[in-house]
Each structure stands twice: as C-alpha cells, then as structure tokens.
Amino acid sequence: MGRTRTSFPDSGSLYSTSHGRTHCHVTKELSTIIDFIRYAATRFAAAGLCFGHSHDNAIDEAAHLVLGTLALPPDLPPAYAQGRLTQQEREHLLTLIEQRIERRTPVAYLVGTMWFAGLQFKSDPRALVPRSPIAELIEEGFGPWLEGREVHRTLDLCTGSGCIGIAMAVHYPDWQVDLSDVSKSALQLARENIEFQHVGERVQVIESDLFTHLQGERYHLIVSNPPYVTEAEYAQMPVEYGHEPKLGLTSGEDGLDLPLRILDEAANHLFEEGLLIVEVGESERALTALLPDVPFVWLDFKVGSMGVFVLDRETLKVHAPSIHAAAQVRHR
C-alpha cells in the first residue's frame, strides 16, 4: 500500500454530512480499499483520536477498520489494495468511520475482531480488546525462560477474551491450558474464541475470582494480564477506554490489589520448577517500591520495557512473608 502514488483526500472536503455532503456523494469519490484506508486515516488524525488498542497511529488504525470490516487479513498483498468496493461496502465503511470518530469506539469493537500473537480473535465489550506484550513472548517461545523446563499444564489467569491462553494452546499443541476469569460475560466470549480457534480439546474455562475456584490445581506456567490501572489513571483515560469493562482495567488506588493477590497465592498453584509471568504495566514502579527485596525480573520487548515480570516458584516461596504482609494490609 505504501507504493500507491495517489494523494490523501482533502481533509476538509470529504467530511461527509458535516460539510453538507452525503455518503452517496462521498462514495462516488472513494472506490478502492486504499481509498478508504487513506480517507479513514486522514479523518482519524484530524479528529485527534486515541490509538491505544494495539495501534499507535492513524494509518494502522484505519487499515484495521477497513480490512477487518471486509474480512481481509492485515498482511493483504499491496496489489489487492486497488480492489474496488461495492456500494453497500462503501456505505458501511463510512458509517463505521463516523462511529469511530463520534463515539470513540475502539476499532476492534466496531469490526468485531482483533489480531493477537498472529491469530484472529472475536472482540466485543464483554472483555478488553486483546492487547499485551505477552503476545511477543508466546510467538518467541517464552525464551529463555522455559528452556529446559517441563511444560504441560498452563493457566491464563484473568483471561478476558481468552487471547493469551488460546494463543498458547495454538502455538504449543502439547499444552493443556486453563482460562480463568471472574467475569461470566468475558468467559462466554472466551468460549466463543476457543471454538473459533478449534482448541476445545485442550482448553477449558473456569469461573474464578483469581485462585478461589482453582484449589488443588497446579501448573508449570501461570501467565496473567490482570487489571492494574489506578483509579486516578482511569479517571484520566481517553474516552475509548470507557467502552471497555472497568472490571478488566482498575485494581485499587495504586493498581496493585490484584497483582499482589496473585503474587501471594501463585506458589501454591505452581509445580516445583513452575514460572509466574505477570503484566503490571505502569504499576511496575509502585510494585518494586512496595516489595524492594523481591528480585523481580523485568522483561525487555522489541519496543522496550512494558511492565512484565517473571518469578519462579522458589523465589515466591522465599519472599512469601513480605508478599503476604503487603497483600494482607489492603485486604483487611
């Protein structure tokens, strides 16, 4: 698509009905896939949208909306970008573009799908839009952390849409994966994604408030992207995040209510050489300040540090007293 020499449409002349122009008139000027991607990108940039759901710019956001709506892959060969759309497809795309701007609805919810770890997942307001740097770990084999370790049973704790656990099941066909969440609606979406990715024989869903209903269960690997946004951060978040369930975002005043509970209880659910991997995002600083003696291993990703740590069971057991004390203070 980058090779196309046609110019961006004038951002002031194609603004649909806001400038007295009808969808019918605009769709006569826009006809191809690349036309709609560049038009949407121009509109999104001019509207000052927040790009925080796996995209960081207007062009990628526009490509997701257009290609996703047309049921086309994100790596569509450039030659197809000149494909012409039907009138119905054009009108539908224009409607979605306006909804993205006026309602600030995340593109994944408008389209109904999102890509994660190279896989497509269903996405709607029952759970957060799939996004996490843990996708990079899954695609790269969790190296070097799992090298030499036996892995058969894994848990995706606070699974939401199921994207992390299901991606693990797809990328590692010999793993049995449990998906756990407290939200009934999120788990229903996770079940739909299990069916969508055809991994039902190796993935099961468990409704549980963290480890409450996982008594007696043990795993070689526990991965979690729990809520970790502070209340102050949530109050300042862009409108786009208001479309997502708050239950999946916030975790107390410092964002650590749930991460501390996970740290406090995880060792009891790990095999002897088991690993815990947790994303806490911007709450990394608060966590290291609260537990300065715990030797968190903070992972680096292609884009840098993303607030994801690794701890083994032995380390969790050694530091159990200080972790438990910190967790108990806020749960009295």
pLDDT (tens digit per residue) in 66-97: 999 999 999 999 899 999 999 999 999 999 99
The domain at 116-330 falls in which architecture?
3-Layer(aba) Sandwich (3.40)
- The pLDDT value recorded for residue 13 is 34
What pLDDT, on the 0 to 100 scale, is given for residue 4? 29
| Ranges of the chain with pLDDT below 70 | 1-27, 331-332
Spatial distance between the Cα atoms of 93 and 70, rounded to a whole number of angstroms: 9
Distance from the Cα of residue 38 to its chain's centroid: 25
Q: Where are the beta strands (DSSP E) in the chain?
A: 113-116, 119-122, 153-157, 176-181, 203-207, 219-224, 270-279, 297-301, 304-312
- 37 contacts 1 by C-beta, under 8 angstroms: yes
Whole-number pLDDT of residue 29: 84
- When computed from its CA atoms, the radius of gyration of the chain, rounded to whole angstroms, is 22
For the chain, domain boundaries: 16-111, 116-330
Alpha-carbon torsion, ordered 68, 70, 72, 75, to 10 deg:
-60
Peptide bond just before 144 cis, omega within 30 deg = yes
CATH topology of domain 16-111: Helicase, Ruva Protein; domain 3 (1.10.8)
Per-residue pLDDT, 278: 98
User: Are 264 and 327 a contacting pair, CB within 8 Å?
Assistant: yes
DSSP state of 32: B
* Total number of residues shown for the chain: 332
What pLDDT shows up at residue 118?
95
Crossing angle of helices 320-330/257-265, nearest 10°? 140
